[in-house]
Amino acid sequence: MLMRLNFISPFIKAAILQGNQTKGLKLSALMREMPLLWEAQEKLFGFKKTISRLLKVIKAMF
């Protein structure tokens, strides 16, 4: 379980920490098999990336 959580997209991790996760993102969903590619994970959990959202996430990290 811990190994799998280490490979979650940084975009998804940041959204969780900021409380901005999608409705489809639940612990039970994270415990199932998921793709290793970050873009595929974001699509699976309903994240829509935009440049402004990415910049906001990057700024929040620093």
**Can you give the pLDDT at residue 31?**
82
**Can you give the pLDDT at residue 56?**
74
CA–CA gap between residue 30 and residue 47 (Å, rounded): 14
Domain span holding position 26: 2-61
pLDDT tens digits along 18-40 = 888 888 788 888 888 888 888 88
Q: Average pLDDT, stretch 12-19?
A: 85
User: Whole-structure pTM over 0.85, yes or no?
Assistant: no
Domain total of the chain: 1
pLDDT tens digits along 39-62 = 888 889 888 766 666 777 777 777
CA–CA gap between residue 5 and residue 54 (Å, rounded): 21
Has residue 2 got a pLDDT over 60? no
